[in-house]
Amino acid sequence: MPPVSNTIVLHGGAGSSNQFSERLKAYAKRSLNGKSALDCVISAVVQMEDDQDFNAGTGSVMRVDGSIQMDAAVMIPGRFGAVAAIERVKNPVLVARDVMERTPHLILSGDGAVRFARAMGHRDYDPSTEKARERYRAMMSALEGKKTGEDEKYSVMREVLRSMPELLSTTDTVGAVARVNGEFAAAVSTGGASPMLRGRIGDSPIPGAGIYCGEKGAVVATGIGEEILKRVLCYRVYSRIGAKRLEDIVREEIAAFGNVSVGLIAVSEDEAVAASNTNMAYAVEYF
């Protein structure tokens, strides 16, 4: 991609259809409001959270107990805020920003995150949709019908994913990274994976895993959260910025995942990159 002036990069999640890239391009353009890099990435992620075709906010998938719990995070150099397993809010990324800017903490989770959201003025909101309910019914039907050995952790869930990908697959994390007037920012939001136990927290709200931003650039990941977490993927990419082309770094880190679904967006002083080992809707805008 060409050298970076001001830029923003969006992704719609590992596994998302490329047909959504034009929609993301429109969201990216709307987010370029001439304000800070943080304002740009927040605006972009809010638009994706409000779009039922993406697994974040209103498009979130249901967990095995029928609940919707969401994770989100924002980061700028030296500052971070996140919510994990938050329920009944429309835009988790806005609550994550409040955690960063209005508390001494880095991450709030569960009912504590919900109570904080209410105190900050985020109203009660049911993010469930008929699409999510249909997927939930298919997931539960499949889970109840599978008999696998109890010795393998998550064996039933894995069997469901292998046997019914067309019913249970969903787009993953949504995210954005930006460089505006020399400043970097990153934001990420997700409804999680499917199937998923209540209380499960993936890579998205963990700094260094699903998101990282520092003086050299910003990185956001998407894919199988547990694998991203184990590799501390975003910090791995960030720590290598400057050693070679950013695109080469990103592609090398993705290649290390083999057949495990993963994608990355990243921006540095002179590059903007979006890459994945599976389908991934994305958009890059320069301004």
Q: Which residues are catalytic?
A: 173
Structure tokens at 168: 């249970």
Give binding residues as ranges: 200-203, 222-225
Residue 98 backbone dihedrals phi, psi, to 5 degrees: -65, -35
Which segments are annotated as binding site for substrate? 200-203, 222-225
Distance CA 149, CA 166 (A): 24
Q: Where are the alpha helices (DSSP H) in the chain?
A: 21-31, 37-49, 92-102, 110-119, 130-145, 155-163, 165-168, 225-231, 233-240, 246-255
- Neighbour-count burial for 229-261, b at 16+ CB within 10 Å, e otherwise: bebbbbbbbbbbbeeeebeebbeebbeebeebb
| DSSP assignment letter at 79 | E
Q: b or e along 270-281 (b: 16 or more beta carbons within 10 Å of the residue's beta carbon)? A: ebbbbbbbbbbb
Cα of 51 vs its chain's centroid, Å: 14
Chain centroid to Cα 272, Å, comes to: 18
